[in-house]
Structure 1
Amino acid sequence: MAKTNKFRFSFIIVLLIGIWLLLPHHIRMALTYWFPGIEDYKIFDNRTVIAADDAFIWPLASDYNQTELSSEYRDTLESYQTIAYLVIQNDSIIYEEYWDDFGPESYTNSFSAAKSIVSLLIGAAIDDGYIQSVDQKVGDFLPYMNDGKNAELKIRNLLTMSSGSNWDESYTSPLSMTTKAYYGNNLTDLAKDMYIVDDPGKIYSYKSGDSQLLSQVLIHATGKSLSEYTSEKLWKPMGASQNALWSLDKKNGTEKAYCCFNSNARDFALLGALINHQGYWRNQQIISENYINDATTSANYLKTEDNKPVDFYGFQYWILNYDGMKIPYARGILGQYIFSIPEKNAIIVRLGHKRSKVKVNYHPSEIYSYLEMGINLLK
């Protein structure tokens, strides 16, 4: 009897191992790690985005960290498991705080805030002449997008999340295209599974595949990897102090363009400065002013799925109307925020593990607290 039970146990173990090995790569990864985390660069292969040799070091304001946050504000920061909160005005740091052993040089995933980086790279590629305009057809760069309804797709439609594609944005299903993109190992083939089912340029529908397809356009247009072009056009010119890491689908593979750009709060703030200064930074026009203005203007000619004007989204940038100010910002799913406040020449960066599930006109509800506490610190 003991030998029979031992045999059965061994058989079950072998069977389970066999089933595990037959599962698709992305499902094995999803079952292993379950939920995305801010340090997932440690489980993925990465490509380095080279920083500047002459880094820009944010100066500290004369009143740096002189103001104490109220207990209410601190409770908000800590209840959403904040790991970095940074406030800059007039290109000097006025407040900075870190939690849980994170610091000014700690890597953390930007998640979908990376989409805004992709948008800036589109602007750079237009400036460089690789792309004619945002109204150029995607099929000019990706021949497989030249059939049927696919041929109607323009770069503008991808930038404004109005592709009308079949991409499934579900974050809970292990079978969704988004899960395959995050945990899978062949983003190029996955992008080829996208096709247009509705008229592009009509309805706003947030889809990470739109950003990934933009990256494919950039790769084909420039002949460079996304990381290489980011280093050349953004990371070095802006004066990033630390190499960034862009997570890949596999070793020497393709960047997870819609997410997974890993850096630190101070270097992320440089992206905010670029918006505040209309693309001009460190004595050079890094991205054209016209593109920055277009990217941070709401695509209100589009409609939401419930037939309301899109007054909250531009070219892969969220737009918030707050206290009479237009605030463009980059945003990630676990509460990664890079707010630009041009009217006050200010930047607020918040990084962490959680964000509110409640939204107010498409904006997570807790961001109003981050903005209020930051603006109260400004001069």
Structure 2
Amino acid sequence: MQRIEWPTTEWQAGDPAALRMDAEKLSELEGIIKTDYGNINGIVVVRNGYMAYEKYYNGYGPDDTHHVASVTKSIISALIGIALDAQYINHIDQKVLDFFPEYVPDAADRQKQVITIRHLLTMTAPYAFEDWHEPLDIMCMQPDWVKYTLDLLGQKGEIGAFKYSTAGAHLLSAIITRSTGKSAREFANERLFKPIGMKEIPDYEMKSFGFDDLFGKAVKGWVNDPSGNSTGGWGLTLNARDMARFGFLYLNGGIWDHAPIISKTWIDESTAMNPNKYGYLWWLGDEDGTFAYLALGDSGNVICCIPEKSLVVAIASAFMLNPRDRWTLIKEHILPALID
């Protein structure tokens, strides 16, 4: 379909048939979500740039924001790309320690000195903790999260081996601030959120740094650490429509209403399939010939982009341990609604 209006101020709803989607199959989603995916608060399905389906649950509506957890990481990835495009950052293989000249590493710790932005983006920097056992709670109790993470960085393991680290994503947020002079929140508002019609994130002062403030019911806007750095690995709140806007920007190669927001080269690099199935802070999937890249957060917060199908699925969820896999919902109930 020819793009007439961009959803900068408002998403345009499209007739499912005109968008090559089966309205009857889409209508089955509501019952399935209520029965099997009870912590989903909002879902937006966009095809060919138009909203084919939108539904809210548990008393939520289109303007309500949700803590999207690790979906924040994919936003940070976009901001690194924008900072590179604007030459705030020289290149992706720049050393992490270049941005923290006040930090003096142990001379014997050679690994720490060669770790780059690329390693942080691809989760291939070494740390002392075991896989999936990152001591994030300890970081959150520190007065200086960046110093704590730099201390962790480079210990044990080998550069190049995949090890998922939320603290590493926080270093990327600090790198954005060191290179641009703005917090990730401020930089995102100016260079990403506002241009594509996402709600600007206000600056909420952190009253304290307990669990509820950082992860729980008190999370609002975009959480920051005691030094004022926006959290890089979690802590951002978005509504489902804005999650879909971000996914649609990526599907369009970084162009929004004829204006370049992020370079297509960065998006292609960020989402290129590799053996780890993890790009630049994006999860990658290829099942039955369907390639997808996903911003994934705890509790089932998802922005799923399927370029070949011109499809974006944004799901905002309430906190829940071990929710049902959203890819199952997409694969079994949304992809079959496509008419190709």
Same structural fold, with TM-score higher than 0.5 when normalized by the shorter chain: yes
Match of 1:226 in 2: 184
* 1:211 is the counterpart of 2:186: no
Total equivalences in the alignment: 304
Whole-Å separation in 2 of the counterparts to 1:343 and 1:182: 40
The aligned residue for residue 10 of structure 2 is 57
- Does residue 77 (structure 1) correspond to residue 37 (structure 2)? The answer is yes
| Alpha-carbon distance in structure 2 between the residues aligned to 1:182 and 1:107 | 23
Indicate whether 1:247 and 2:205 are aligned: no
Match runs of 1:1-379 below 5 Å: 55-63=8-16, 67-69=26-28, 71-72=31-32, 74-78=34-38, 81-143=39-101, 144=103, 147=106, 148=109, 149-166=111-128, 177-182=135-140, 186-198=144-156, 201-241=159-199, 243=201, 245-250=221-226, 253-300=228-275, 310=276, 312-353=277-318, 357=322, 365-379=325-339
- Whether the 8 Å CA contact 1:294–1:314 is kept in 2: the answer is yes
Please give the secondary structure, in 1, of the residue aligned with 2:152: coil
What's the CA shift for 1:89? 0.6
> Counterpart amino acid of 1:68?
S
The whole-number CA distance in structure 1 between the counterparts of 2:89 and 2:132 is 31
For the 8 Å contact 1:130–1:221, the answer to whether it is kept is yes
Give secondary structure in 2 for the equivalent of 1:298.
coil
Given the two structures, how large is their TM-score scaled by the length of structure 2? 0.81
- Classify 1:114/1:180 alpha carbon distance in 2 versus 1 (closer, same or farther; 3 Å): same
Q: Return the offset for 1:217.
A: 1.3
**Measured at CA, do residues 86 and 182 of structure 1 come closer, stay the same or move farther in structure 2, by a change above 3 Å?**
farther
Structure 1: distance between partners of 2:268 and 2:148 = 32
Distance 2:150 2:114 in 1: 16
Q: What per-residue deviation string (whole Å, max 9, x for no partner) do you get for residues 284-330 of structure 1?
A: 12111111011001343xxxxxxxxx1x1111000011331210010
Q: Residues 34-53 of structure 1: CA distance to partner in whole angstroms, max 9, x if unpaired?
A: xxxxxxxxxxxxxxxxxxxx
Shift of residue 179 of structure 1? 1.5
Secondary structure class of the residue paired with 2:295: strand
Amino acid at match of 2:94: Q
Aligned to 2:214: none
Check whether the contact 2:125–2:153 (CA below 8 A) recurs between aligned residues: no
Work out the CA distance in 1 between the residues paired with 2:142 and 2:63. 29
Q: Which amino acid aligns with 1:92?
A: Y
How far apart, in 2, do the equivalents of 1:280 and 1:335 lie? Answer: 28
Measured in 2, the distance between the counterparts of 1:218 and 1:357 equals 32
- Does the residue aligned with 1:227 lie in a helix, a strand or coil? helix
Shift of 1:265: 0.2
Provide the secondary structure at the position in 1 that maps to 2:296.
Answer: strand
Q: Does the 8 Å contact 1:278/1:288 carry over to 2?
A: yes
Residue of structure 1 equivalent to 2:205: none
Instruction: State the AA in 2 paired with 1:346.
Output: L
Sort the Cα spacing of 1:344 and 1:57 in 2 relative to 1 into closer, same or farther, 3 A.
same
After TM superposition, give the deviation of residue 237 of structure 1 in Å.
Answer: 1.6
Structure 1 unaligned spans of 5+:
1-53, 301-309, 359-363
Query: Alpha-carbon deviation of 1:185?
Result: 5.7
* TM-superposed deviation, 1:165: 2.1
Question: Any idea what SS the aligned residue of 1:254 has?
Answer: coil
Equivalent pair of 2:42/2:316 in contact (CA under 8 Å): yes
Q: Which is greater in Rg? A: 1
Asked whether the equivalents of residues 298 and 313 of structure 1 are also in contact (C-alpha less than 8 Å), the reply is yes
Q: Distance in 1 between matches of 2:189 and 2:197?
A: 10
Q: Matched residues in 2 for 1:183 and 1:377: separation? A: 47
